[in-house]
Structure 1
Amino acid sequence: MRSRSVLATAFLAASIIARLVWDTLTVNGRNFVDLHVYRDGSAGLADGSLYLFTYAGETDFALPFTYPPFAAVVLYPLSLIPWDIVAVGWQLATFASLYACVVLALRLTGRSTGVHYLAALWTAPAIWCEPVRVTLDYGQINIFLMLGTLLAIYWARRTNGSPGDRGIIAGGVLIGLMAGIKLTPAVSGLWYLAARRPWGALWAAVSFVGTVLGCLLLFPEVTRTYYGTLLGDADRIGPVEEVMNQSLRGTLSRLVGFDVGNGWIWFVGVLVAAVVAFFAWRAVSDLLGILLVVQFLGLLVSPISWAHHWVWVVPLGIWLVHGAGARRPGARAVFAMWVVIAGLGVPWVLRVLDEYGPQPADAVVAVFGAAWPIATFVTMGWLIATRAHRDAGPADDPEAAANPESAANPEAAANPESDGRPRDVVAAAVIDRDRVLLAQRAHPAALAGKWELPGGRVEAGETHAQALVREIREELGAEVEAGDGIGTPVALPNGLTLHAYRARLRSGTPAALEHLEMRWFTAAELRALDAEDVVPADRGWIPDLCRALEETRVRDAG
C-alpha cells in the first residue's frame, strides 16, 4: 500500500510540475486575467470605483469587475500583496483545492479507505481537463467555490435536517457566503431542498442576505450600483454568443444566430432543462448524485457558463467510477463521453480554429459548440432511463424484491437467476453498545421514509461477510466486521433470500449516503416503533434485534 501511495504521489507531483513548465512555455499559461480582475478591481472598493474598473491587459474583450461587492471585501487583501506572491500562492492553492475536492467527492461516494491514494490518481489527470486547465490559465475562483460547496454538503451528510444541526447551519452559511462572492453557488440551495434538508437552504438565504446588507451598510454606493443596475447584465461579463460560453443561452444564441437574451427561446430552453433535471433528481438518491444534478442545471440556466465553469465534471467522473452511478448500466460509456469532451476541450478547439484557421462553418460551431450542454442532457437522460438501477436496481434491492409492484423491471424480479449472481441479500445489524443502526429508505416511493437494516445483494464470488462489508462501505461510508447471523432468513417473493448478520464498527462514522436518514435505536425505542414504519422484510427481526441489544448491554455491564 505504501509503495502504491508513493507512486500516486509521484504521479501527481509530475503532473503539477508539467503544468508549471507549461505555464512557462506557453503564451497564456500565466496570463491570470481573472486574478488580475480580482486583485486590481477589488482595490477600487476603498474609493468607490469598483464597478468603473476594467482590466487593461491583453484580453479578447474588456474585463470589468463583475462580482458582488462582498467579493471585493473578501478579495481586497490581495491588492495589498505583491503580484508575484499572489500569483504563485493562488496557483498552488488551486492545486491543493482541486485535490481536496477529489478527496471530498470520494468520501461522499462512501470511500473510507485508500482515499488519498485515489485522490492523487484523479487529481493528476484532472489538472489537464479543459475546465481545470483554463481555470489555472485565468486564475479563476471556480475550484475554490466547488471546494466550499462539497465541504458544505459533506457537513450536511451526517445530519437529519433539523434546524439546530450544526452541519446544516455551517454548510448553509458557507453556501450563502459563497453566493455573496459569486452568485452561481446560490443554486446549491436547491440541493438542501432536494435532499430534504430545507433548513440549510434557509441558512444559505439568511447568510447571503447578510452579505448584501453588510455591504449596503459599509459601501452603500457600490452595493446599490451592483444590485440596482448591474445585476443580470450578462453583456458586462462577455459576449454571450462566444463559443466558450457553454450555457443554454450561449448555445441557443449560436444556433439561431443572435443573442436570445431572456426571451421566449431562452425561457423554453430553461423550462426543458428544469423538467429534465427534475426527473433526473427523482432518478438518483445519493447525496453526491443529487448535488451533481443541481450543479449541472445551474450551469445550463446561468446566462454565462464559460468552459472553465464546468469544473464539476471532475466530481461527476468520480461518481461515475466510484459512486452510485457506477452501478448503472452504461456508466462507462457516459464516463468516456465526458473524458473525450473535457480532455479535448471542444469549445477551445473551435476557438483556436476560428483564430488560426481553417475557420469552421457557423453550423459546425453551433453544433459542436454545444458539447457541454448536449453532454449534460445526455447524462440526465441516462439517469432517467436507468432509474430502475439507481444505487442497486430491483434485483439488488431486497425491499423492492419484497414489493414487486414497486420494481421497475418485473422480468428481472421474476427471474433473479438470469443475471448469474447469487440469490442472497444481506442486511447488517450494526450494534454499538446497546444501540442498533437503522437507515431510512429514500426509494421506491412505496417504501420511502421506512426504516431498515442497511445492506444489499451478494455479488458473484462474494461470501455473505464480504458482501455485507462492501454494502456498508458504499451505503454508510464506514468499515464493519461481520458477525453471527440474527433471526431467520426471509424468503422474498422473487426467489431471493434475505439474511441478517450482526456487525461491529471498525472505522469511520456511518453517514446517510444513500438514505434519507440514519439513527441509532435502543431496544426500548425499537419496541416503540410502529410496524408500518419499518420495511416489511425487516419487521420480523425486531424481537431478535431487541434480544441482541439486551444481551450486549448485560455483557458490557458484567
Structure 2
Amino acid sequence: MSKKTLGTLLALEVAVIVAVFLLRGFPGLDLEVYVGGARKLAESGTPYEGMVVTTQNISLPFTYTPFAAVLFLAGTIAPVKAVLVVLNVLSLLGLGVVAFLCLVKTGVTRRTAAYVSVAVQLSATLVEPVLATLNYGQINILLMLAVVVDVLVPWRRWPRGVLVGLVAAIKLTPLVFCLFFLLRKDYRSLGRCVGTFAGVAAVMWAVLPSASERFWLHLMLATSRIGDLWYVGNQSFRGVLARAGYSGSLLWVLGVLVLLALTVFAIRAALRAGQVPLALVACAVGGLLVSPVSWTHHWVWCAPAVVLLGALGLRWRESDRLLGNGLLVFAGLSALLFVSYLPWLMPFPALTVGARTGAEAYTIAGVLMLATIWWASARRSGSAQLVDHELDALGEQRDVVRVDGREQADA
C-alpha cells in the first residue's frame, strides 16, 4: 500500500477509536473482577477465596485460571479505569486485525481489507457481542485475535499452535481449536498447542500449588460459579435446555454430539474449499454452541463470520449466483440479528413460540451458520474449478485477487 493510503488508514483508525469512546461509556465490571482476583492472589496466594467486591455494588468470584490471575497482576499497577481504556483500545485494534487477516486470506486485496477492517471497528458501537465485551472490560476479542494470528499468520517459520495453547491456559474455551488442527491434519500445531497449554499449567502448579489445585480439581467444572445456566445471556445449547426447564444430562450430551458432528462437517467442507478462515469460524461457532456457558459477549466471532460470508458472497456470485446471493442474504440477516439485541428484548419466561425463538436467537443463528458454511463450502468444492486454487495447505496465498475474484496487482 502507498504512503498516502497508510496515512489515510491511520487517520481513520484514530478517528474510529476516538468516536467509539465518545459515543459509548464502558463500566468495566468484569475487568474489576479480574484485577480484584489478581490482588487477592498477591495478598493471599489464591484468587479463589471469597468474592471480589466491585465499585458497582456487585460482588463476583474470579473464575479464570491461575495463569490468568498472574497476567492480571499487571492491571494492579494503575487505576482500573486507565487499564480499561488500554484494554478496549487493544480490543478495537485487535478486531480490525482479525477482520483484515480473514479478508486477505479469503482473497481480498490488502487495501480493501484495511478499509473494511476500519468499518468493522466502527461497528463496535452497534454489534451487541462486541459492545458487551467492551462494556464489561472482557478479553474475548484479544483471545480471538491470538487464535486468528496463530492460524493465519503468513510466516512459514511461525510455531503455529503455541498462541492457541497460551490463551487456552488463560481461558479454557480456545481448546476447541484443537479440533481445527486435528481436522486439518496439522498434528505438529496440535502438539504445540496441547504442549504449551500443559506446560503453562504445570509451571503454574509448581509456582502456585494451592491456587492450581483449587482451580483444576474443584472449580474448573463448577459452572454455577460462572452464572445461572437459564439466564438469557447464556446463548448455548445448554442454556436453551435450561430455559426450557430441562436439567438432565442425556439430552444435552446427545445434542452436543449432533452439534459436534455438524461442526466437523462444516470445518472439513471449508478446508476442502480452501477457506481456512471460514473453517476457523466454524470451529469457533461450534465451540460456542457446545460449551455449557456462552455469554452473548463470547459471540464476538460473529464479526469475522459476517464479514467473511459477505466477502465470499460478493466473490462467488458471478460464477454461482445462488451460492453468492445466498451467502449475502445470510450475512445480512446475521448482521441485523447481532445489532438487534433480540435475546434481551424477549420476556422471561418466554411463553410464546416467537418469544422463545427470540430468546434463543444466537444459538439458532449459530446452528444455521454451521449449516450455511457446510452447504456453501461443499457447493464451492463441487464446482469445476476453484477460484481459490492458489491457497496452499497453510492457507497462504498471493494478495492479488479482488472481492469479485478477478486478479489485479495489490495496491
Provide TM-score, normalisation by structure 1.
0.64
RMSD between superposed Cα atoms in Å: 3.2
Aligned position for 1:19: 20
Q: Which residue of the partner structure matches residue 267 of structure 1?
A: 253
1:273-422 maps to which residues of 2 (within 5 A)? 273-285=259-271, 286-323=275-312, 327=316, 328-329=323-324, 330-350=326-346, 361=351, 364-390=354-380, 393-397=382-386
Distance 1:69 1:85 in 2: 23
For residues 116-131 of structure 1, the aligned pairs below 5 Å read 116-131=114-129
- Closer, same or farther: CA 337–56 of 1 in aligned 2, 3 Å: same
**SS state at 1:394 partner:** coil
Work out the CA distance in 2 between the residues paired with 1:153 and 1:426: 18
Q: Say if 2:137 is the partner of 1:139.
A: yes
CA 1:220–1:475: 2 relative to 1, 3 Å: closer
Shift in alpha-carbon separation, 1:380–1:151, aligned structure 2, 3 A: same
Aligned counterparts of 1:284 and 1:154: Cα–Cα separation in 2: 15
Q: CA deviation at 1:128?
A: 2.0
> Is the 2:33–2:54 contact (alpha carbons within 8 Å) kept by the matching residues of 1?
no
Measure the CA separation in 2 of the matches of 1:126 and 1:176.
27
Answer 1 or 2: which has greater strand percent. 1
2:179 paired with 1:178: no
Q: Which residue of 2 aligns with 1:479?
A: 400
Cα distance in 2 between the residues matched to 1:394 and 1:66: 47
Equivalent of 1:45 in 35, 41, 48? 41
Give, in whole Å, the separation in 1 of the partners of 2:393 and 2:97. Answer: 30
| CA deviation vs aligned residue, 1:50-72 (integer Å, no higher than 9, x gap) | 10142323779752100010101
What's the counterpart of residue 154 of structure 1?
152
2:186 to 172, 192, 197: 197
Superposed counterparts of 1:452-491, under 5 Å = 476-479=397-400
SS at match of 1:65: coil
State yes or no: 1:66 paired with 2:63: yes
Q: d(CA) in 1 for partners of 2:141 and 2:388?
A: 40
Residue 319 of structure 2: aligned partner: none
In 2, Cα distance between the equivalents of 1:312 and 1:22? 23
Q: CA deviation at 1:2?
A: 8.5
Kindly indicate whether structure 1 or structure 2 has the higher relative contact order, using CA contacts under 8 Å at least 6 residues apart: 2
User: How far did residue 3 of structure 1 move?
Assistant: 8.4
Question: Do 1:109 and 1:324's aligned partners in 2 also have CA atoms closer than 8 Å?
Answer: no
8 Å CA contact 2:37–2:62 kept in 1: the answer is yes
Query: What is the CA–CA distance in structure 2 between the aligned matches of 1:385 and 1:68, rounded to whole Å?
Result: 38
> Offset at 1:45?
1.6
Q: CA offsets, 1:16-46, max 9 Å, x none?
A: 44432343xxxxx322011001111111222
The residue identity in structure 1 corresponding to 2:79 is: P
What percentage of residue pairs aligned between the two structures are identical?
30
Report the counterpart of residue 80 of structure 1 in structure 2.
Answer: 77
d(CA) in 2 for partners of 1:187, 1:325 = 30
Q: Residues 223, 365 of structure 1: CA spacing in aligned structure 2 closer, same or farther, 3 A cutoff?
A: farther
Q: Could you tell me how far apart the structure 2 residues matched to 1:232 and 1:365 are?
A: 31
**Deviation (angstroms), 1:347:** 2.0
Compute the displacement of 1:230 (Å): 0.5
Q: Quick check: 2:236–2:294 contact (8 Å CA) kept in 1?
A: yes
- 1:60/1:282 CA distance change after superposition, 3 Å: farther
Structure of larger gyration radius: 1
Q: 1:279 to 1:325 in 2, by over 3 A?
A: farther
Query: How many residues align structurally?
Result: 393
Aligned-partner Cα distance in 2 for 1:235–1:326? 45
Q: Does 1:105 align with 2:95?
A: no
Label 1:235 to 1:366 Cα distance change in 2 as closer, same or farther (>3 A): farther
Structure 2 residue runs without a partner (length 5+): 317-322, 402-406
**2: CA distance between counterparts of 1:325 and 1:426?**
14
- Letter of the 2:186 partner, please give it: R
Could you tell me the TM-score, scaled by structure 2's length? Answer: 0.86
With over 3 angstroms needed to count, the CA separation of the structure-2 counterparts of 1:426 and 1:325, relative to structure 1, is: closer
Task: Note the 1:513-528 alignment, pairs <5 A.
Answer: none
Residue 247 of structure 1 is matched in structure 2 by: 236
Distance 1:105 1:4 in 2: 20
Q: CA deviation at 1:172?
A: 1.3
